[in-house]
Amino acid sequence: MTDRYGPPRFSRSGLRGLKPSATLSLNDRVREMWGLGLDVYHLGFGESRFPVHPKIAEALRANVHQRSYLPAMGIWELRETIAGFYHRKFRMDVSPDQVVTGPGSKSLLYALVLALGEELILPQPSWVSYASQAHMVGKPVNWVPTRPDRDYVLDIGDLLRVMEDSRDNWGNPEVLVLNSPNNPTGTMLSPDAVRALAEFAREQRLMVLSDEIYALTAHCQVPHVSPAQHYPEGTVALGGLSKHLSLGGWRFGLAILPPGPAGEALRQALGCIAGSIWSCVAAPVQYAALVAYSDDPDVDNYIDQCTRMHSIRTHYLYQGLVEAGVPCVEPSGGFYVFPSFDRWKDPLAERDVHTADDLAMYLLENYQLATLPGSAFGCPPEELCLRLSSSYLDTESEEKVASLVEVFTQDPDPARFIENHHPQTREATTRIAEFVADLRYE
């Protein structure tokens, strides 16, 4: 029958320009290489891998019988609990009405990109999915370059210039995306920078999409501040359980909508989108999330402990880069660093490495280091930046992560934690230093 009629036909218009997520594709490739028995040091995937906290695991188990569809925005009790959590942790005055939940913050972000404004403004570099989601819903992106010597903070003058250029060309940039702590740079916006950007957004009547998924993994002295603290009427803050509680696969995300009419309009739009696509967050996960956002001191301590472990592991990688002479801004949250290899352009060109993609491939083939090129985050391809993530090394199996938590509880000394329990992290750092030395001396 197939021969007679040929394969099914559908127009390509829906597929045009779609690219697989760079992070997920790299992850598949590394798994393939592991499957072939090759040693690969996986610095490419940003997944927090610590164990599920026992109280949250117990809540999920106890609610496995919850099988009905729940309200699209989440059960009321959960929305109340999350509002309380944001008040306690971030001093934000949030009413439960403003809280919406979804299957991961990525899905909520997609719904918001669909619902909000004509064009996006993105810092360059930015996390992979913002631009690809904008592309999917047919919205143009205006990139604003940022600089490592300014810790990748958006400059208001640059922002204004990009917006004016867009408007001069009949564009309408209406949505500013911010992300602190940041993926891919690992940096955080200072409270002053957040205030300045929030004030600018208010003056320009922009909506701010503030991706704060790493907020509880901040590990510097400066506290995390949300633009919603300064500009609540024009900010949507996004969060979830994927990073600070290592529950990425449970798919739980949330958005704090603005109070007042903007928030009300957005809630209705999100209700329609959720109702037509995902209906609600999986019922048992909503009940488990109640515990994750409760005031439980055990859960709070666990979040702090995981953040300290991420900090030690990420700083070790950062220190290794600095000692090897690789320019890199010090990380202050999450588990990423974003080094530049631009100063070795000439010796790299001799090895036929001209772009960040070439560089990532060269490191994978020759040093078994899996990294992501800066181009995946919107950087020009010829800028030789890479994103390295500390989160996957030495956490490959359930046994390893469980033992990391156990040994860190007994002895939180950073040097011993790395020396005695992080062979992969140490080896990956050594290989980076070897690579740099090879570039210098060959």
Ligand X SMILES: Cc1ncc(COP(=O)(O)O)c(C=O)c1O
For the bound state, the minimum distance from the C-beta of residue 315 to ligand X, rounded and expressed in Å, comes to: 19
The SS3 assignment for 226 reads coil
Whether residue 253 contacts residue 239, with contact meaning beta carbons closer than 8 Å, is answered with yes
Whether residue 43 contacts residue 432, with contact meaning beta carbons closer than 8 Å, is answered with no
* Contact call for residue 127 and ligand X (CB under 6 A): yes
* Contact call for residue 263 and ligand X (CB under 6 A): no
* Contact call for residue 248 and ligand X (CB under 6 A): yes
Q: Which residue is nearest to ligand X (CB)?
A: 104
Rounded to the nearest 5 degrees, what angle is found at the Cα of 414, between the Cα atoms of 409 and 418? Answer: 95
* Contact call for residue 179 and ligand X (CB under 6 A): yes
Given candidates 125, 173, 240, 284, which one binds ligand X under the rule CB under 6 A? 240
Q: How many residues does the chain have?
A: 442
Whether residue 377 contacts residue 184, with contact meaning beta carbons closer than 8 Å, is answered with yes
Which residue number, 336 or 408, has a Cβ lying nearer to ligand X? 336
For the bound state, the minimum distance from the C-beta of residue 404 to ligand X, rounded and expressed in Å, comes to: 21
Question: Could you tell me how many residues of this chain bind ligand X (CB under 6 A)?
Answer: 13
Which residue number, 193 or 439, has a Cβ lying nearer to ligand X? 193
Interactions with ligand X, residue window 282-321 (CB under 6 A)? none
Backbone angles phi, psi at 84, to 5 degrees: -65, -40
Which residue number, 240 or 263, has a Cβ lying nearer to ligand X? 240
The H-or-E segment that residue 238 falls in is strand 235-240
Site string for ligand X, 86-105 (x = CB under 6 A): ------------------xx
Which residue number, 251 or 315, has a Cβ lying nearer to ligand X? 251
How far is residue 49's CA from residue 435's CA, in Å, rounded to a whole number?
28
* Contact call for residue 254 and ligand X (CB under 6 A): no
How far is residue 95's CA from residue 260's CA, in Å, rounded to a whole number?
11
The SS3 assignment for 17 reads coil
The SS3 assignment for 174 reads strand
Interactions with ligand X, residue window 198-217 (CB under 6 A)? 211, 213
For the bound state, the minimum distance from the C-beta of residue 37 to ligand X, rounded and expressed in Å, comes to: 28
Which residue number, 111 or 418, has a Cβ lying nearer to ligand X? 111
Stretch that binds ligand X, among 113-121, 195-203, 240-248, 374-382 (CB under 6 A): 240-248
Distance between terminal CA atoms of the chain? Answer: 62
* Contact call for residue 333 and ligand X (CB under 6 A): no
* Whole-number Cα distances in Å, 169 to 66, 165, 172, 402: 52, 6, 9, 55
* Contact call for residue 242 and ligand X (CB under 6 A): yes
Written as six digits, the tokens of 151 are: 């810790």
How far is residue 274's CA from residue 73's CA, in Å, rounded to a whole number?
8
For the bound state, the minimum distance from the C-beta of residue 250 to ligand X, rounded and expressed in Å, comes to: 9
How far is residue 272's CA from residue 267's CA, in Å, rounded to a whole number?
9
Which residue number, 240 or 320, has a Cβ lying nearer to ligand X? 240
Which residue number, 211 or 358, has a Cβ lying nearer to ligand X? 211
Given candidates 98, 142, 180, 183, which one binds ligand X under the rule CB under 6 A? 183
* Whole-number Cα distances in Å, 215 to 36, 87, 130, 222, 244: 37, 14, 18, 12, 8
For the bound state, the minimum distance from the C-beta of residue 164 to ligand X, rounded and expressed in Å, comes to: 28
Given candidates 44, 123, 234, 253, which one binds ligand X under the rule CB under 6 A? 253
For the bound state, the minimum distance from the C-beta of residue 95 to ligand X, rounded and expressed in Å, comes to: 22
How far is residue 435's CA from residue 437's CA, in Å, rounded to a whole number?
5
- Residue the block writes with tokens 């024009």: 234
Q: Maximum distance among all alpha carbons in the chain?
A: 70
For the bound state, the minimum distance from the C-beta of residue 278 to ligand X, rounded and expressed in Å, comes to: 12
Which residue number, 246 or 425, has a Cβ lying nearer to ligand X? 246
Which residue number, 211 or 383, has a Cβ lying nearer to ligand X? 211
* Contact call for residue 246 and ligand X (CB under 6 A): no
Q: Which residues contact residue 268 at a Cβ distance below 8 angstroms, ignoring those fewer than 6 apart?
A: none
* Contact call for residue 46 and ligand X (CB under 6 A): yes
* Contact call for residue 186 and ligand X (CB under 6 A): no
Which residue number, 385 or 436, has a Cβ lying nearer to ligand X? 385
How far is residue 31's CA from residue 213's CA, in Å, rounded to a whole number?
26
How far is residue 412's CA from residue 401's CA, in Å, rounded to a whole number?
15
Interface residues toward ligand X, by CB under 6 A: 46, 104-106, 127, 179, 183, 211, 213, 240, 242, 248, 253
